[in-house]
Amino acid sequence: MGVASIDATLFSKERGKGMAEILAPAGSKEALIAAVRSGADAVYLGLRDLSARKNAENFSPEELISACRYCRERGVRVYLAVNTLIKDNEFGIARKVAEAAAKAGVDALIVADLGLIRYFSKTVPSIPIHASTQCTVLSEEAAKFLEGLGVKRIVLGRELSKEEIIKIRKAVKCELEVFVHGALCMSVSGQCLFSSYLGGRSGNRGLCAAPCRLPFKSDISGNSYALSLKDNSLYDKIGELSEIGIESYKIEGRMKRPEYVSAAVKSLRDAIDKGNYDKELLENVFSRDGFTSSYFDGNLKSGLFGIREDGSGISEAEAFPRIHEFYKAERARIPIRAAVEFTEKGFKLTFSDGEREVSRFSDLVSPAKTRAVDKEIIEEKLSRLGSTPFYLEKADISLSDGLYISLSEINRLKGEAAEELLRLRGEFSPIEIYDYEFSAAPNYKGSPNRRYAYLKNTEQAEEFDKIFTDISKIYLFPPEKTVIAMPRYFSPEKGIILREKLKEAYSKGYRYASADNLNALGLLLEFDFNIIGTAGLNVLNSESIRLLEEAGIKELILSTENSFAGIRSMKSNIPLGIVLYQYTPLMLLRACPIRGARDCGSCRYRGGVLRDRKGIEFKIRCSEEYSELLNSRPLCTNGKEDKIFGAEIGYYDLSEKKPLEEYTLGLYENKLI
11 pLDDT tier (thresholds 50, 70, 90): very low
Query: What is the helix (H) or strand (E) element at residue 628, kind and residue range?
Result: strand 627-630
Structural domains in the chain plus CATH codes: 18-184+229-327 (3.20.20.70), 334-425 (no CATH), 450-583+637-653 (3.20.20.60)
Characterize the bridge pairing of strands 390-399 and 334-343: parallel
Q: Cα-flanking dihedrals φ and ψ of residue 393, to 5°?
A: -85, -40
In this predicted structure, what is the pLDDT of residue 595?
63
Q: Which of 421, 426, 406 is nearest to 351 (CA)?
A: 421
Mean pLDDT of 154-177: 98
pLDDT at 1 over 50: no
Beta bridge partners of 131: 111, 154
User: How confident is the prediction for the chain on average, in pLDDT?
Assistant: 91
In this predicted structure, what is the pLDDT of residue 55?
63
Query: Which distant-in-sequence residues (6+ apart) come within 8 Å of 154 by Cβ?
Result: 130, 131, 135, 137, 143, 146, 147, 168, 172, 174, 175, 176, 177
Mean pLDDT of 62-74: 98
Q: Which of 233, 168, 188, 182 is nearest to 625 (CA)?
A: 188
Characterize the bridge pairing of strands 635-636 and 576-582: antiparallel
Cβ–Cβ under 8 Å, residues 444 and 572? yes
Is residue 82 classed as helix, strand or coil in its secondary structure?
A: strand
535-557: pLDDT as tens digits: 999 999 999 999 999 999 999 99
Q: Which of 374, 377, 349, 351 is nearest to 362 (CA)?
A: 349
In this predicted structure, what is the pLDDT of residue 4?
30
Query: Which distant-in-sequence residues (6+ apart) come within 8 Å of 293 by Cβ?
Result: 232, 233, 234, 236, 237
168-178: pLDDT as tens digits: 999 999 999 99
Cβ–Cβ under 8 Å, residues 489 and 188? yes
Characterize the bridge pairing of strands 291-292 and 231-233: parallel
Mean pLDDT of 74-81: 98
Is residue 520 classed as helix, strand or coil in its secondary structure?
A: helix
Instruction: Tell which wins on pLDDT, 281 or 596.
Output: 281
In this predicted structure, what is the pLDDT of residue 20?
95
Long-range pairs of 373-380 with CB within 8 A, sequence gap ≥ 24: 373/342, 373/399, 373/403, 373/404, 373/405, 373/407, 373/410, 374/399, 375/399, 376/1, 377/407, 378/340, 378/342, 378/410, 379/1, 379/2, 379/3, 380/1, 380/4
DSSP state for residue 229 in the 8-state scheme: B
- Of the listed ranges 22-31, 626-635, 641-650, 658-667, the one predicted with least confidence: 658-667
87-133: pLDDT as tens digits: 999 999 999 999 999 999 999 999 999 999 999 999 999 999 999 99
- Of the listed ranges 240-249, 275-284, 391-400, the one predicted with least confidence: 275-284
221 pLDDT tier (thresholds 50, 70, 90): low
Cβ–Cβ under 8 Å, residues 128 and 108? yes
In 98-157, beta strands by DSSP E:
108-111, 129-131, 153-155
In this predicted structure, what is the pLDDT of residue 596?
52
pLDDT at 246 over 70: yes
DSSP assignment string, 182-207: E---SSPTT---HHHHHHS--GGGT-
What pTM, to 2 d.p., does this model score? 0.94
598 pLDDT tier (thresholds 50, 70, 90): very low
Instruction: Tell which wins on pLDDT, 310 or 376.
Output: 376
339 pLDDT tier (thresholds 50, 70, 90): very high
Mean pLDDT of 429-446: 87
- Chain CA centroid to CA 478, Å: 42
In this predicted structure, what is the pLDDT of residue 650?
97
Mean pLDDT of 253-278: 95
In this predicted structure, what is the pLDDT of residue 56?
65
6 pLDDT tier (thresholds 50, 70, 90): very low
